[in-house]
Structure 1
Amino acid sequence: MSKAKKGDVVKVHYKGKLNSGEQFDSSEGREPLEFTVGAGQMIAGFDAAIPGMVVGEKKTIVIAPENAYGNKNEEAIIEFPKSSIPPDMKLEPGMKLQLRNEAGHPIPVIVTEVKDEVVILDANHELAGKELVFDIELVEISE
């Protein structure tokens, strides 16, 4: 039976959870996820778990933040003036918004706090700083 290796195109079913058991993503009910092993298409810890697996094999892996979405970057937490927000927009902690950078590219942010003059926005990936647990099943290997 052939084992997955760097450069192979693989298909996997997966379930992603936090340590609390809360599920944040899954391929359940969808086509399996397809990617090239070692091509940098996946977070590092997920990619590193695939070489050596055989079709039909299942495993559970735990990925540290450094090998997932990184640690929280305090510089990505910004104070945004309320005067720049439409007055009819009601902001609440946990709301997801989109800002644009100088080049016009969207930057997803989460409202973490609403103060009198400013809104605190977090532009870190929502899984940054978190240890991730994945249940993986390798369903196909093609070279």
Structure 2
Amino acid sequence: MQAQRDNVVSIHYVLRDNDGEVIDQSAEGQPLSYLHGHDNIVPGLEKAIEGHDEGAEVQTTVEPEEGYGPYREELVQKVNREAFQGVDELAPGMSFRAESDAGPMIVTIKEVDGDEVTVDGNHVLAGQTLNFTVNIAGVREASATELEHGHVHDENTDHG
């Protein structure tokens, strides 16, 4: 069976930067399963996997526009420490869920200077070229519930 829209595809992957350093990878023996064609992984990777069979190895380079997008300076801003009520210690690298004009987003603290906190709303991989090596571990038809919900269900899925 081939990876195509409405199929559940399970992949083992290694993601490297342009220097060959591993950025992320699937856990040993635990492939990532996703519903193909439903925007559950970055578009460039999904396009590269499209049409490949179980057992295939796919190597692809995904440019920022087909990955996590370009780095956008306008998503970096300074906010008052008061925006982090209930948090005693603030440090660079900490991430928080924030509300924006465009809806909820994750922001990462870049710098803390007194009562001024610089946050970055870009995805940590925004602006980066992504180099994937993927092994397709399995392809199956999605269930009606998975298609209705737009994502894979397993024994740990709980919508209750």
The TM-score bracket by the shorter chain reads: 0.7 to 0.9
* Alpha carbons of structure 1 residues 6 and 24: separation in structure 2 relative to 1, 3 Å: same
- Give me the whole-angstrom Cα distance separating, in 2, the residues matched to 1:134 and 1:100: 30
* Alpha carbons of structure 1 residues 90 and 50: separation in structure 2 relative to 1, 3 Å: same
Q: Deviations over 1:66-93 (max 9, x none)?
A: 111111122211101245557x945443
Report what 1:53 is aligned to: 52
- Aligned-pair CA distance for 1:117: 4.7
Structure 1 contact 98–106 (Cα < 8 Å) conserved: no
Structure 2 contact 49–58 (Cα < 8 Å) conserved: no
Matched position secondary structure for 1:24: strand
Report what 1:4 is aligned to: 3
- Give me the whole-angstrom Cα distance separating, in 1, the residues matched to 2:94 and 2:7: 36
* Alpha carbons of structure 1 residues 120 and 44: separation in structure 2 relative to 1, 3 Å: same
- Give me the whole-angstrom Cα distance separating, in 1, the residues matched to 2:27 and 2:55: 16
Report what 2:129 is aligned to: 131
Taking only the aligned residue pairs, the percentage that are identical comes to 29
Moved more, 115-124 or 45-54: 115-124
Q: CA RMSD in A?
A: 2.6
Which structure carries more helix by proportion? Answer: 2
- Give me the whole-angstrom Cα distance separating, in 2, the residues matched to 1:29 and 1:57: 18
Q: Normalised by the size of structure 1, how large is the TM-score?
A: 0.81
- Give me the whole-angstrom Cα distance separating, in 2, the residues matched to 1:51 and 1:107: 29
- Give me the whole-angstrom Cα distance separating, in 2, the residues matched to 1:52 and 1:84: 47
- Aligned-pair CA distance for 1:38: 1.2
Report what 2:98 is aligned to: 100
* Alpha carbons of structure 1 residues 84 and 101: separation in structure 2 relative to 1, 3 Å: closer
Q: Deviations over 1:12-31 (max 9, x none)?
A: 11111221223222113242
- Give me the whole-angstrom Cα distance separating, in 2, the residues matched to 1:102 and 1:110: 14
- Give me the whole-angstrom Cα distance separating, in 2, the residues matched to 1:97 and 1:32: 26
Structure 1 contact 96–108 (Cα < 8 Å) conserved: no
Q: What is the number of equivalent residue pairs in this alignment?
A: 140
Structure 2 contact 109–119 (Cα < 8 Å) conserved: yes
Please list every run of 5 or more consecutive structure 1 residues that lacks an aligned counterpart in the other structure: none
Q: Which amino acid aligns with 2:96?
A: Q
Q: Deviations over 1:32-78 (max 9, x none)?
A: 11122212111101111112212211121110111111111222111
Q: Normalised by the size of structure 2, how large is the TM-score?
A: 0.73
- Aligned-pair CA distance for 1:113: 2.6
